[in-house]
Chain A
Amino acid sequence: MTEISVIAVLEDPVRRRLYDFVSARGDEVSRNEAAQAAGIGRTLAAFHLDRLAAAGLVEVTFARPAGRSGPGAGRPAKLYRRTAVEHQVSVPPRDYRTAAELLAEVVDLTGAEPELQRSARSRGAASGRAARSQAPELPGDDLVTGALTAQGYQPYRDGADVRLRNCPFHVLASNHPPLICGMNLALLEGLLEGASAPGLSARLDPRPGECCVVLTPSKNNEY
């Protein structure tokens, strides 16, 4: 399948909803759960989930019902989960990844991380201010998770913390972790500042397959 035909699989709005639901979840999703989330029947959900799996947009695993094994345990249930594979299409062809790789290499070589972090912080602050001006009354936490969702981070609650399922800079971050994770932290610190969300603060706490930054409740309300 070419990249563009993989993306085309998402054109169907129902399939898109299912994809968004599965990819924003950290664990496996059953057909029933997905059907419920998308507001459709189980058979239709199964059809679309299998189309997503065939395109490689989600992965399939099988699980026996809990506590049952051996013959007579019933057919294992089909489960779906997000995949680590990423797809990128741009028309006409563009190659920002190579440019980003080269720039990252040069920042590494010249030691320009402090400048990168400064620029990232002010860009984050600008996007935080923009989000704040659109919703002046919204509580900080809601405003921040909304802005993060719009930027593709897939935030979710983990106790009092906000964690981010998706790293928007994944390939770059795996090749230049201190550089890109430091940039990302500065972007998010800036965003919190710009959004006037003093209830949260950002710090590095990487987890496998997720964004390296976690937002934790601030110990005090100073900024």
Chain B
Amino acid sequence: MTGYHLAELNIGTARAATDSPEMAGFMAGIVPVNALADAAPGFVWRLQDGDGPGATALRPCGPDIMVNMSVWENLESLRDFVYRSGPHLDFMRRRRAWFHPMAVPYLVLWWVPAGHIPGLDEALSRLDLLRREGPGPRAFTFRDPYPPPVPAEAADATL
């Protein structure tokens, strides 16, 4: 057990408006998939808004760009949900029908002190860091993960 949790942000440029027929499959799937996340082992928190299912109505990066943000107890629990649960994996398999491909990183992972709920500013600055400098201890990806900060640093960070 470390005193750190894993935060995740991913963004996607939608191919059409959320109320369009093209996005109907995505909008129909988001509620059950989110419910699955909420019940998954290691789930801590996810971003929500009042106006649509999940965070689908939030547009901090531009009118077509949807965001998804969550916090998990560790990397394995997030990986298990994202890649090893059938409904979510199937959702990802179909993502090209709903989202444009992106030539720059669109998913970032970073460690937060347990109990800290990251804001969108913090999340977007981590994505920016990943895009500028590539994976590192402060902003990384599933394929290039970094361990949580060591306890000495943990003590410093909470002061």
Contacts and interface: CB of A to CB of B under 8 A. Distances in A.
Are A and B physically bound partners? yes
Interface of A: 108-111, 113-114, 175, 177-178, 181-182, 185, 203-208, 212
Contact of B90 (A108, A110, A204): A204
Contact of B89 (A113, A114, A175, A204): A204
B13 to A, nearest CB: 11
Given A111-B101, A177-B83, A177-B92, 11 more contacts: A111-B96, A113-B93, A177-B82, A203-B86, A204-B89, A204-B90, A204-B93, A206-B86, A207-B84, A208-B84, A212-B89
B95 interface: yes
A66 to B, nearest CB: 29
Given A175-B143, A177-B83, A206-B83, A113 B90 contact: no
A205 B86 contact: yes
A109 B93 contact: no
The 4 lowest CB-CB distance pairs between A and B, nearest first, are: A111-B101, A182-B93, A178-B92, A205-B86
Interface in B87-121: 89-90, 92-97, 100-101, 103
A92 to B, nearest CB: 30
B103 A185 contact: no
Contacts of B125: none
Contacts of A109: 101, 103
A185 B86 CA distance: 12
Interface centre among A108, A110, A113, A208 (most CB of B within 10 A): A113
Contacts of B90: 203-204
Contacts of B84: 206-208
A177 B101 contact: no
A114 B143 CA distance: 23
A114 B97 CA distance: 8
B93 A178 contact: yes
B85 interface: yes
Contacts of A114: 96-97
Nearest to A177: B83
Contacts of B143: 175
Contact of B101 (A110, A204, A206, A207): A110
Given A110-B101, A111-B101, A204 B96 contact: no
Nearest to A107: B101
Contacts of A208: 84
B89 A111 contact: no
B32 to A, nearest CB: 15
A113 B103 contact: no
22 contacts: A110-B101, A111-B101, A114-B96, A175-B143, A177-B82, A177-B83, A177-B89, A177-B92, A178-B83, A178-B89, A178-B93, A178-B95, A182-B93, A182-B94, A185-B93, A203-B90, A204-B86, A204-B90, A206-B83, A206-B89, A207-B84, A208-B84
A181 B100 CA distance: 20
A181 B85 contact: no
A113 B84 CA distance: 19
A76 to B, nearest CB: 30
Interface string B52-95: 00000000000000000000000000000011111001101111
A208 B93 CA distance: 18
A203 B90 CA distance: 8
Contacts of A204: 86, 89-90, 93
A218 B79 CA distance: 30
A110 B84 CA distance: 24
A111 B95 CA distance: 9
